[in-house]
Structure 1
Amino acid sequence: MVTPAFRRISECFVKPHRPTQVSNQICNLTPWDIAMLCAHYIQKGLLFKKPSTLVHQHHFIDKLLENLRHSLSLTLSDFYPLAGRLVTRKTQDPPSYAVFIDCENSDGARFIYATLDITISHILSPIDVPPILHSFFDHHKAVNHDGHTMPLLSIQVTELVDGVFIGCSMNHAIADGTSYWNFFNTWSRIFQAHVQAQGHEYEVSTSHQLIHNRWFPNDCSPPINLPFKHHDEFITRFEAPFLRERVFHFSADSIAKLKAKANSECNTTKISSFQSLSALVWRCITRARSPRYDQRTSCKLATNNRSRMEPLPEEYFGNSIHLVSAETTTGELLENGLGWAAWKLHLTVANHNETVVLQFLKEWLQSPLIYELGRFFDPYCVSMGSSPRFNVYGNEFGMGKAVAARSGYANKFDGKVTSYPGREGGGSIDLEVCLSPDNMSMLESDEEFMNATSISIIPDVQYQI
């Protein structure tokens, strides 16, 4: 079989269009940011269908690239830390290692244009997500600490025969999922306003003022000094084993049934849709793994701290997430029903409040911890990342609504589950599940799990020309 020809056509750097006085400052990193230095960049992207009347016209892609670059420059005026680089200040006696963002001395964000001679069907038709998706993103296998020498933001536009994939690699020590999609949504709005203005003057601002002042707990004066002499003392690089990646679709009706079942079994109305779905995934993946009944297992949920911290609005730019964990034995998890597992997850989320967050930060400052993927997640955990609440399909770049959302190589391991809203909306959810080949085969044979899934139908849509 002949491998499709992937070609990187061009590369440039994009700086903020209107540098502001504040953007010439140094941004210190918080404990939440620093803890992510070993993790990979966030790699998420959107697949669009080319407007049918323009598929074979070269000026379409030229104009698209021009508009993307210009609107990116305008967007970086608001999200200026993404155009910077990481820098480190070290001392030897006593040893200390402080990392922060230099927002001024940088080439800016990287912008790449590439081509690949395949169609949208080559991406969406296979049962498993094809590995070629990894080439749609820059910073392959890079960890966030590499932001000292690599751009903190890299956009790659890959032109297919009948589609365009816009992939974004963003340093996870700079931003979390909320900040990531806030950037993407803002970029889309500015792109549309730029195109509609047709060269005339216009102004587009973020829907809400971004909060760039990094939040630090009481009695913590930045910068935070890590007790190290060299990054080799705390930076490790995680290589994922061979995994199967598959996207499972859950319709709004299926989600509603899971939620009703979970709440009914527990005689409550407090269990959420996502907690019910997470409980199903936790039970079914654990069953697929066939561990001993006394084996401990956990389900970790990425939780946004903004809604739990009074001074932190949704517009706070940076990391503000925490992994909460529900734990039990395999025997208890499988002998009890969906509602039992969902209630454990509900209590875990409900008990995560400001007091818990502040206690975690206090302990972290006493003994700084850098998350290492190879050690942080055990072989029997299920980790639910991202969120179906993110505005993924509200992003349009002159090609209408995206056909699908996909991710790259980054931060994947056996048991990692990434959630997206379903394309049709209405409460539907897509889950990107990563498992070893044997475990994925067992999951595909699990009647409880497969009966809850459905086929995601991508309808023909009208595109803006």
Structure 2
Amino acid sequence: MTPPPPPPPPQSVRYISDCLVKPRRLPRHSDDPLHLAPWELAMLSLHYIQKGLLFPLPPPHSLDPGFDRSAFIHSFLEKLKRSLSSALSHFYPLAGRLATLRRTDPPFPTVFVDCANSPGARFIHAALDMTVADILSPTYVPSVVQSFFDHNWAVNHDGHALSLLSAQVTELADGVFIGLSMNHVIGDGTSFWLFFNSWSEIFQAQEKGGVDVVQLSCPPVLTRWFPENHPGPISLPYADDPSSFHARYEVPDLRERVFHFSADAIAGLKVEANRQCGITKISSFQSLTALVWRCITRARHFPPSQVTSCRMTSNNRVRLDPPLPPLYFGSPVTLLRAATTVGELLGGGLGWVALLLHAVVAEHGDAKLREWNEEWIERPQVYRLDKLLDPCSILMASSPRFNMYGNDFGLGKALAPRSGCANKIDGNVFSYPGREGGGSVDLEICLSPATMAALEADAEFMAAALMDL
């Protein structure tokens, strides 16, 4: 299969302004350091989370005859900065920076969030001479989308100098993209979208009532969880050479494409997976993941004896006993791994693979999490992108449960989410809710050009992805 030609060179984003936004007011104890749990420190060498939403601009004819676009954008940006400042009052660690404390007992440093040193979150205004259609219509995600985000290629350890949160608002000819970059040791996807949703809630409340202080309907829980016998702070076993804790990663040539799966298509996968196993406990997302793992592996043309794996990010809030609050603001995630041979994966059928995934998820509970934390404290190590996935694996990240389309900044419902260059490797799959809701899912899949071309020729995969078209 001949891979498709590379995309044309992207147009350039013009940077117009750049400033720091501080919390409008700070609660008591906001100067206290925020110490990090093992699963947060393990992310020091991963990239920031980069996710954003594309919104339409109202056409001039729908406004008053004297519509002034420049004045409209200026007012919109000021409202965004005002509401961001209020949001940071609730999420004040995002205005801080990482810091390293050199300790003598034990003689190892500790990385924490310095909330007293709070220069603020970064806010950028940029523009691009392209349209919404230029972003959404191409088969592959245009590489210019990467320039809709700040802190490209930055690893979380860089949060010692870089802002822990950066918002970039990029004007298009007929739209606006709001892209957030958040340090991953501060928060996971659940925390990221909790902040995005809260920012939107404050924006809407200020539009209606003109108030600066807004009481959130879902305020974050900022208290960090630690294992009972290791209450923190946690030390890292390096002194003068922290290089292994902020390693860099060279991203290979990838194609990124968003595939849509209707609610009916996913329901069909779930019914078939459970039917093949004679059970009813396999979930919709496990069934979809099984399809993706099978089809990407088939597209890679590995021999039957080759071991292949599927890694899945696990939100551990509900898996601890007692569970963490649903609004816990942090990064309590670990990776789950299911593995088998290519021959078994492709020969076992959709249900067999989905049941394998289900078993891995079902056994992941409090005991395993506490064991993981104990082992990490004894032998700390960080995730490295160049070692996270072998060429025979896939990684399922993000979640279709996140409330992406509920964000409203006065421009109506978002047209689509998109991600930046962060944490992308061959075999990464990011899942988003479908815009029409109802259980539909969009998958942003990152593959080498040759593998992407083979996946697009896979009849089983494309039948499910295009079922609703």
TM-score w.r.t. structure 1 length?
A: 0.95
Residue aligning to 2:303: 292
Does the alignment pair 1:224 with 2:227?
no
Residue aligning to 1:249: 260
Residues 455/167 of structure 1: CA separation in 2 closer, same or farther (3 Å cut): farther
Q: In structure 2, what is the Cα distance between the partners aligned to 1:279 and 1:236?
A: 32
Q: Is the 8 A contact 1:297 1:380 kept in 2?
A: yes
| Structure 2 residue identity aligned to 1:398 | G
| Structure 1 residue identity aligned to 2:275 | S
Say which SS state the counterpart of residue 102 (structure 2) adopts.
strand
Residue aligning to 1:23: 30
Gaps in structure 1 of 5+ consecutive residues:
458-465
Residue aligning to 1:281: 292
Q: Is the 8 A contact 2:404 2:417 kept in 1?
A: yes
Say which SS state the counterpart of residue 327 (structure 1) adopts.
strand
> Following superposition of structure 1 onto structure 2, how do residues 185-264 of structure 1 map, counting pairs within 5 Å?
185-197=197-209, 199=210, 201=211, 203-229=213-239, 230-264=241-275
Deviations 1:369-392 (A, max 9, x none): 111110121111110000000001
> Structure 1 residues 97-106 or 280-289, which shifts more?
97-106
| 1:37 Cα deviation after fit | 0.2
Q: In structure 2, what is the Cα distance between the partners aligned to 1:80 and 1:106?
A: 8
Deviations 1:435-463 (A, max 9, x none): 00000000000000000013888xxxxxx
Residue aligning to 1:302: 313
Residue aligning to 2:453: 441
Residues 456/196 of structure 1: CA separation in 2 closer, same or farther (3 Å cut): farther
Q: In structure 2, what is the Cα distance between the partners aligned to 1:41 and 1:206?
A: 25
Q: 1:12 aligns with which of 19, 32, 54?
A: 19
Q: 1:76 aligns with which of 79, 84, 88?
A: 88
> Structure 1 residues 22-31 or 424-433, which shifts more?
22-31
| Structure 1 residue identity aligned to 2:261 | F
| 1:334 Cα deviation after fit | 0.4
Q: In structure 2, what is the Cα distance between the partners aligned to 1:210 and 1:2?
A: 41
> Following superposition of structure 1 onto structure 2, how do residues 133-148 of structure 1 map, counting pairs within 5 Å?
133-148=145-160
Residues 413/261 of structure 1: CA separation in 2 closer, same or farther (3 Å cut): same
Residue aligning to 1:325: 337
Say which SS state the counterpart of residue 23 (structure 1) adopts.
coil
Does the alignment pair 1:57 with 2:64?
no
Residue aligning to 1:175: 187
| Structure 2 residue identity aligned to 1:281 | V
| Structure 2 residue identity aligned to 1:223 | P
> Following superposition of structure 1 onto structure 2, how do residues 329-368 of structure 1 map, counting pairs within 5 Å?
329-368=341-380
Residues 69/145 of structure 1: CA separation in 2 closer, same or farther (3 Å cut): same
Residue aligning to 2:115: 103
Say which SS state the counterpart of residue 306 (structure 1) adopts.
coil
TM-score w.r.t. structure 2 length?
A: 0.94
| 1:63 Cα deviation after fit | 1.0
Say which SS state the counterpart of residue 326 (structure 1) adopts.
strand
Say which SS state the counterpart of residue 398 (structure 1) adopts.
coil
Q: In structure 1, what is the Cα distance between the partners aligned to 2:212 and 2:251?
A: 46
Deviations 1:94-147 (A, max 9, x none): 641210011121310000000000000110111000000000000010000000
Deviations 1:286-338 (A, max 9, x none): 00001111110011111110111224011111011111111100000001110
Q: In structure 1, what is the Cα distance between the partners aligned to 2:294 and 2:232?
A: 43
Q: In structure 1, what is the Cα distance between the partners aligned to 2:9 and 2:390?
A: 38
| 1:4 Cα deviation after fit | 3.0
Q: In structure 2, what is the Cα distance between the partners aligned to 1:421 and 1:3?
A: 27
**What percentage of aligned pairs have identical amino acids?**
56
Q: 2:400 aligns with which of 371, 375, 388?
A: 388
